[in-house]
Amino acid sequence: MKLLTLDDLEKKASQRIEKSVFDFWQSGAGDLSTLKENRNAFSRYKIIGRTMVDVSRLDTSPKNELFGKKFRAPIGVAPSSHHTLASPRGELATAGACENTKVPIGLSSYSNYSGAEVKDAAPNSAVFFQLYVFKNRKVSEQLVRRAEQAGYKAILLTSDTPYLGQRYADARNNFRLPRNVRLGNFEDLDDGKGNKIKIPHPVEQKKGDSQTASNVIDPSLNWAETIPWLKSITNMQIWAKGIICGEDAQLAIDAGIDGIWVSNHGGRQLDETLPTIEALQDVVDAVKGRVPVHLDGGVRTGADIFKALAIGADFVWVGRPALWGLACNGQKGVEKMLEILIKDLSITMGLAGTPSVADISRKSIVRFGPRYSKL
Ligand SMILES: Cc1cc2nc3c(=O)[nH]c(=O)nc-3n(C[C@H](O)[C@H](O)[C@H](O)COP(=O)(O)O)c2cc1C
Ligand SMILES: CCCCCCC(=O)C(=O)O
């Protein structure tokens, strides 16, 4: 089978990976409404292709540098957990692919290889360390300090997971991580006074009950307390992931956040919420260029990336496609996935009459039908 699109990679991955693991990747929360709408909503936007524009030179590089680095395209791999379920080198392979392709990666707190190991594999690409804040703050504090020491540029605070979404596929499959899956970031933690602290391995959770895995996470996070606390323990930038409305973007900026990441966790958390591409305009308009705005959720083609850039995103990220690439062919599979996206973005730009990312603007797209309105 020729692997030409991300859908092809998805199909091939489904044939290679055990069903309960593939379901864990693919599934969303509740009725899967958010998950499905993340994809469907892109097709409500249409590109106005301009002709007779000199597009003999196409430049996919982002409009602005990210952490002082010039990447090849405004595309990156979003944080997702447990890459060794897809391929033995796990996050080392994913990050290595990003490094070779010259795009950034965000590493999950729940990666199997540690932040330092991944940074060694991808010194330029490993820029975001994704953070869950645990009820035991000493745990998160050590994760942050280790990330800073390893050379990460920013903490990506996941703000949409006070509890884990209801993922019925995992419950039906009695899904539970195998015990031999490493949690690289949680090894040898101590409370700073020499006392060991442990985060329970998800194998200790009740089979099929993901909620028991998430009860270590602090559900009391809030802008007023959490952001100043994070700023007091690190000099890295602090970004917020999981924002889907302008009001929260404003509150995040008021609290001192350095960047906004529009996300609904790939439809795995709040069901029946806004698809990210629909939420983007409100967030961009509220942010007014004060901090960068990134987006993930259902991005699968160059046209999807183009539409998000046109609405005003500075960068666009993919989650599941990296897992599919890994499952198909390890590091080379992730490189293939990224090359497909970059080529597709480049061709879309050429056909739309926008030779550089700076040429893509709201004038480049239209939207069918009424947008949501506030009640
Ligand atoms: C299997 C899986 C694990 C994930 N793990 C994390 C995680 O550890 N931390 C986090 O902030 N987001 C996590 N995410 C969400 C992604 O960062 C991202 O928001 C989402 O996958 C984007 O949607 P997409 O998969 O449609 O591209 C995970 C997503 C998947 C599919
Ligand atoms: C204790 C919470 C673990 C969640 C890790 C992975 C994740 O975010 C996901 O969506 O799955």
3 and 9 Cβ atoms separated by less than 8 Å = yes
Which-ligand-closest: CA of 162?
Answer: 2
Ligand 2 atom nearest to 202, measured from its CA: 1
| Cα–Cα dist 145/188, whole Å | 14
Residues in the chain with pLDDT values less than 70: 205-213
- Give pLDDT, residue 199: 79
Whole-complex ipTM: 0.99
- Give pLDDT, residue 201: 78
pLDDT in tens, 162-214: 999 999 999 999 998 888 999 999 999 988 788 898 877 777 766 656 666 67
- Give pLDDT, residue 207: 60
Binding residues for FMN, as ranges, are 108, 130, 158, 241, 296-300, 319-320
345 and 313 Cβ atoms separated by less than 8 Å = no
- Give pLDDT, residue 209: 64
- Give pLDDT, residue 145: 97
Bridge-based pairing state of the strands 259-262 and 237-243: parallel
- Give pLDDT, residue 46: 98
- Give pLDDT, residue 166: 95
215 and 202 Cβ atoms separated by less than 8 Å = no
Ligand 1 centroid vs 375 CA: distance in angstroms?
30
Ligand 2: residues with CB < 6 A are 81, 110, 164, 213-214, 216-217, 265, 268
122 φψ region: left (φ > 0), alpha (ψ -120 to 50), beta (else): beta
- Give pLDDT, residue 212: 65
- Give pLDDT, residue 194: 83
- Give pLDDT, residue 179: 86
| Cα–Cα dist 141/159, whole Å | 16
- Give pLDDT, residue 294: 99
265 assigned to active site: yes
Name every residue whose Cβ is closer than 8 Å to that of residue 204 and which is 6 or more positions away in sequence. none
153 and 236 Cβ atoms separated by less than 8 Å = yes
Nearest Cα residue to atom 14 of ligand 1 = 80
Q: Which domains does the chain have, with CATH numbers?
A: 6-173+226-367 (3.20.20.70)
> In the chain, what is the straight-line distance between the N-terminal and C-terminal CA atoms, in Å?
49
Percent of the chain clearing pLDDT 90 (strictly above): 90
pLDDT in tens, 244-290: 999 999 999 999 999 999 999 999 999 999 999 999 999 999 999 99
Does residue 266 line the site of ligand 1, with CB under 6 A? yes
What's the maximum distance between 2 C-alpha atoms anywhere in the chain? 68
- Give pLDDT, residue 208: 59
Angle between helices 302-311 and 320-352 (to 10 degrees): 70
